[in-house]
Chains A and B, each alone.
Chain A
Amino acid sequence: MRALIATLAVITAATVGLLIQQPGFAEACAGLIGSNGNVNLGRTTTLAAYHDGVEHYVTSFEFQGGGGQFGTLIPLPDAPTNVERGGDWTLQRLQIETSPPVAERAFFALGAADEAEVLLEVRIDALDITVLRGGGPDVAAWATEHGFRLSPDAPEVLDFYAQRSPIFLAAVFDGDAAAERGQAIGDGTPVHLTIPTDDPWVPLRILALGKQPGDLVQADVFLLTSDEPTLLPAPSDSLALTHSEPATDPLLDDLRSDTGMGWMPDSAWLTKLEINSAAGDLGYDLAVDTTGNDSPSIVDAGLALPTAVPSDNGSLSALWLAAIALAGLAAVFAIAARLTGARVR
């Protein structure tokens, strides 16, 4: 059984999103940045769960062998308050739950100014995690300063994300340190982020970062929501819906028993999407709505830019101004009527 788990973990270059009890969920997939002009491909497995306004995000960075460093950028919907070592087998358990043991299944992972503000820095095993706040240029500058050369599509992709959230996670894997620690190729380092947010979404476009337009992007996206979600874009051949059922109690119990996973709710809806898309066609993210309104956000899906709509306060102010103006007019008419009435009398 353990061997099966390990095999699945290796052959499944997955992005796992797990989300719970929230209108619109999301989470993250990783984009790899190359070092010294080379695009390093590697596998990233990710789990994100949304529960009571907090997103729990668990991802695993696999040691690919060799020395030197390689890095990964992950757009985040909001700033995490905590970054720690993740549970040991949560990601594998999710794969077991939803992936039939098909042999020879080939997934390969994520294709791999002003200064960005460093919100958080954590060292986990051979992994240096930095949470950044900044625009696309800021994050690009940070990556360059740390020895990474971004792929040519990075400026547009980073802007695409920064328009919705200025938070990025940069993970730098120190291959030399991994070797010194005795990590074998394929060993993953799980990382757990706690992200309070009102607006989670699942970044998919980042999967195509650094790839040629014709390259195939393959990944798995798992969602765990309170109810059956409505998705945008709707499932299609390149975004195939392959699982949509209530999560089983054994799954939830197992996940709850792993390190740091005690927040797992009692019930949830499990959705699995399989991405098989040309990189050039993957120009969107995944918006998820579980409110029952069937209205996932086109902005969260990356299909429309955030507009400069008046804020709630602005709208209220406008309403108040209109009300005050109407009240003023009414007062003028009332006074005029009184004066007229007095004259009549």
Chain B
Amino acid sequence: MRPLLGLLTLAAAIALFGAACTSGSANATNQTIAIRYSLFETGLVTVPRGVPITFTLQNDDPIEHEWIIGNADVHESHRTGTEPVHSEIPSEVTIPALSTRQTTITFDQPGEYAFICHLPGHEAYGMVGAVQVVASGS
């Protein structure tokens, strides 16, 4: 079950974002998303298509959170997923309590992608935000 879920989410991530996910690119656009009291303090982020975007995910809470971004299928799979930790897929990040993580993603297609914490009860509590990907220059 776990390997299948992992493959599905990996495939979805690749399909959505293309490959290019490296940290620390000089061309990256930086976005910081803070978390406090189990809410994303930045609810909507607008980024250009085709440019590496580095997200700094700052968890100010004393409990662990997740930042998982993708389309509806990705989120649906995570709602029933059992992976305890996300560390290998740039669009799926576990952020331990009172810590910060960075991840870099290039969005190849314009559109709006939700980011959600899928730990039990967190989505219902309101841990939902979105990245709006727009054509470069728009």
Partner of A38, one of B61, B62, B97, B120: B120
Residues of the B chain whose Cβ atoms lie less than 8 Å from the Cβ of A138: 62
Q: Mark A136-178, 1 if CB is under 8 A from B, else 0.
A: 1111110010000111111110110000000000000000000
For the complex, what is the distance from the CA of A152 to the CA of B61, rounded to whole Å?
10
| Closest B residue by C-beta to A141 | B62
Q: Considering the complex, give the chain A residue whose CB is closest to the CB of B122.
A: A152
CB-based contact A153/B124 at 8 Å: no
The answer to whether B38 and A158 touch across the interface, beta carbons within 8 angstroms, is no
The count of residues in chain A whose C-beta lies closer than 8 Å to any C-beta of chain B is 24
> Interface residue count for B (Cβ, 8 Å)?
17
Tell me whether B63 is interfacial, beta carbon within 8 Å. yes
B-side contacts of A149, CB under 8 Å: 63-64, 119-120
B48-64 to A contact mask, C-beta < 8 Å, 1/0: 00000000000001111
* Docked pose: A151 CA to B125 CA in angstroms: 9
Q: Do B63 and A144 touch across chains, with their CB atoms under 8 A apart?
A: yes
Q: Residue of B at shortest CB range from A156? A: B37
A34: chain B residues within 8 A (beta carbon): 120
The reply on A257 being an interface residue by CB < 8 A is no
Name A37's contact: one of B38, B97, B120 (CB within 8 Å).
Answer: B120
Please tell me if B127 contacts chain A, counting CB pairs below 8 Å. Answer: yes
User: Which of B63, B117, B124: most chain A Cβ within 10 A?
Assistant: B63
B37 touches A140 (CB 8 A): no
Report A-chain residues with C-beta under 8 Å of the C-beta of B124: 212
- Report which A residues bind B (CB closer than 8 A): 34, 37-39, 113, 136-141, 144, 149-156, 158-159, 210, 212
23 A-B pairs with C-beta separation under 8 A: A37-B119, A37-B120, A38-B120, A113-B98, A140-B61, A140-B62, A140-B63, A140-B97, A141-B97, A144-B64, A144-B97, A149-B64, A150-B63, A151-B121, A152-B117, A152-B121, A152-B125, A153-B37, A153-B125, A154-B63, A155-B62, A156-B37, A212-B124
